[in-house]
Chain A
């Protein structure tokens, strides 16, 4: 007789295999569409790489802007770009398409949770994007070598925690937002609008320390800062330990809030959902 209850053991094994299989399917999907992934990477890369050029042209002989030397500034955008590839979540489009085209009903019949499916799809794409981004990162770092300064970069546990936290925050705020497709017929404009606060507050546009105090105060409390800007600030060694702890705490808070919102929107939304496309 095994020490552990056999059934329990089997079901754990069974679940792990099930999720591994689903992940493999998503990974194959991401692999099949790698050209598409390269284009999505470029759509993040091009605007983010113009910004350091703008700042370089703005120093006009000064040593720093908002505490950033020209070298720090270029490093900031490059690191943000790398983090974006690992973190930034766009699952709301998939959720809306699932719902609009009736695939959602099929998912409801299957024996696995929709949120876990959604997360595995997101994870597979992020891994694919990160791998494809490595060569692009090297080329860009080479091209920008003249104005790049890495000295302050701290690749330690605080950064890895903040990075994984950012990855989860991005998913757990985007997922409930995507579930709004259960409530509205047309979501395209709403989703496009979403990217405005995302872009401003997640640090892709500019280091948040350059913001005027009022906007910076807003950034402290909205979830977007904790997706990309916060791990980037930790990585560049810009935050004192108490700020790092506070940031990690905010990440946990937003993950919990996002999950709760997801559950609530799911329960109420399913009652309204009538299965379009069946």
Chain B
């Protein structure tokens, strides 16, 4: 089963199954929606608090910081809707030994552990992201060109790929850190660093979050396309980073599954 059309069909089945499941817990769906919007409001309040006490953070104005925050929310909400819940189940699969069933299925195991569950209840963050972006734009009133918006969307897509890769790399560690059941909390915390401008970090940390664990590509670099204009070099580097990290992720996953010896045996 290597044909892409078959994977697409399989994905549709997963998606339908998820919608049905979600419909069963409607109360939970609305509660989740409200909580996500609450968290966005809380962070927006923090940004407001910072700018009540200053006019610029490492050269970023309030509007620019909201632009960064909105872009981060957009990438993260897409990540959470599409992949986070599935990846979050990897430690449990390893611990319970049910990873055996995943590995013996006639599909790519990485596809299965990445895409099995969708979280429609993360839509609250997705909607809030556009509100934040709208607010940022109302503060900045930037004269945007179509090329800038196009580059921003492209970089957002690269950011999503990189965020997926970071998440997947960290969750794959579960094969060795079997007893650690809060890996996804750590992943969450690390990912949240991406909502701050990388310029606030000391030089060695800024380098690390740009190239080693490329969190800067998740939101700050896409935001740059709106803030500073389109640079061909940035687009190339972002594409290269996304491709490289997806490749490394897949290698690491294969290495991990090969050395996996099952919990039940």
Residues from chain A with Cβ under 8 Å of B177 in the complex: 35
Give the total number of A-B pairs whose CB atoms are below 8 A apart. 90
Q: For residues 163 through 188 of chain B, which have their beta carbon under 8 Å from a beta carbon of chain A? A: 177, 179-183, 185-186, 188
Q: Which residue of B lies closest to A211 (CB)?
A: B49
State whether A210 touches B192 (Cβ < 8 A): no
Interface residue from A40, A56, A60 paired with B55 (Cβ < 8 Å): A60
Query: Cβ of A54 and Cβ of B38 under 8 Å apart?
Result: no
Question: What is the bound-complex CA distance between A150 and B181, given in angstroms?
Answer: 37
User: Cβ of A54 and Cβ of B200 under 8 Å apart?
Assistant: yes
User: Please, how many angstroms separate the alpha-carbon atoms of A206 and B47 in the complex?
Assistant: 11
Across the two chains, which residue of chain A brings its CB closest to B55? A60
Instruction: Tell which of A125-133, A151-159, A187-195 binds the partner.
Output: A187-195
Number of contacting residues on A, CB 8 A?
Answer: 34
Interfacial chain B residues near A56, Cβ < 8 Å: 200
A186 to B38, CA, bound (A): 18
* Interface range for B: 35 or more
User: Which residues on B sit within 8 Å (CB–CB) of A60?
Assistant: 54-56
Interface pair A54/B196, CB less than 8 Å apart: yes
> At the interface, yes or no: A11 with Cβ under 8 Å from chain B?
no
Known: A35-B177, A42-B189, A196-B42. A57 touches B199 (CB 8 A): yes
A205 to B53, CA, bound (A): 14
Within 8 Å CB of B192, what residues of A?
46-47
**Contact call A210/B49, Cβ cutoff below 8 A:** yes
User: In the complex, what's the smallest C-beta–C-beta distance from B222 to chain A, in angstroms?
Assistant: 20
Within B12-69, the residues touching A (CB, 8 Å) are 25, 27-28, 31-32, 34-35, 38-39, 42, 45-46, 49-50, 52-58
Q: Which residues of B contact A199 (CB under 8 A)?
A: 42
Closest to B29 in A: A189
Separation of A188 and B58 alpha carbons in the complex (Å): 37
Bound CA span A53–B190, Å: 16
Complex Cα distance, B180 from A217, in Å, reads 41
- Given known A-B contacts A36-B179, A206-B49, A57 and B200 have beta carbons under 8 A apart: yes
Interface contact A65-B53, CB-CB below 8 Å: yes
| B179 touching A46, Cβ below 8 Å | no
Interface flag for A148 (CB, 8 Å): no
Q: Is the CB of B189 within 8 A of A43?
A: yes
| In contact, B39 and A210 (Cβ under 8 angstroms) | no
CB–CB A196/B200 < 8 A: no
Complex Cα–Cα for A233 and B136 (A): 34
Main secondary structure of the interface of B (DSSP, over half): helix
- B49 to chain A: closest residue by CB: A206
Tell yes or no: A66 within 8 A of B by CB.
yes
Q: Beyond A46-B189, A186-B28, A189-B35, is A58–B53 a contact (Cβ under 8 Å)?
A: yes
A193 to B185, CA, bound (A): 16
Closest CB-CB distance, A106 to chain B, in whole Å?
22
Q: Give the Cβ gap from B196 to chain A, nearest Cβ, in Å.
A: 6
Counting chain B CB atoms within 10 Å of each CB, the highest count among A46, A50, A58 belongs to A58
Chain A, residues 210-224, CB within 8 Å of chain B (1/0): the string is 111000000000000
- Chain B residues with Cβ under 8 A from A36's Cβ? 179-182
Q: Are A40 and B182 in contact (CB under 8 A)?
A: yes
Of all chain A residues, which has the CB nearest B27? A186
B103 in the interface, Cβ–Cβ < 8 Å?
A: no
B205 to chain A: closest residue by CB? A53
B193 within 8 Å of A (CB atoms): yes
User: How far apart are the CA atoms of A211 and B52 in the complex, in Å?
Assistant: 9
Assess whether A112 is interfacial by the CB under 8 Å rule: no
Min CB distance B83 to A, Å, is 20
A47 to B28, CA, bound (A): 28
Q: Which residue of B lies closest to A50 (CB)?
A: B196
The reply to whether the CB of A273 lies closer than 8 angstroms to some CB of chain B is no
Name the A residues within 8 Å of B199 (CB-CB).
57
Q: CA separation between A146 and B264, bound complex, in Å?
A: 52
In the assembled complex, the Cα of A210 lies from the Cα of B39 at a distance in Å of 20
CB neighbours (8 Å) of A200 from chain B are: 42, 45
Beyond A186-B27, A189-B32, A192-B35, 9 additional pairs, beta carbon < 8 A: A33-B179, A36-B179, A39-B180, A39-B183, A47-B189, A58-B57, A189-B35, A193-B34, A196-B38
Chosen A-B contacts, 24 in total, with CB atoms closer than 8 Å, are A35-B177, A36-B182, A40-B185, A43-B188, A47-B192, A50-B196, A54-B50, A54-B57, A54-B196, A56-B200, A58-B53, A58-B56, A58-B57, A186-B28, A188-B28, A189-B28, A189-B32, A190-B31, A192-B35, A196-B42, A200-B42, A206-B50, A211-B49, A212-B52
Interface of B toward A, CB cutoff 8 Å: 25, 27-28, 31-32, 34-35, 38-39, 42, 45-46, 49-50, 52-58, 177, 179-183, 185-186, 188-190, 192-193, 196-197, 199-202
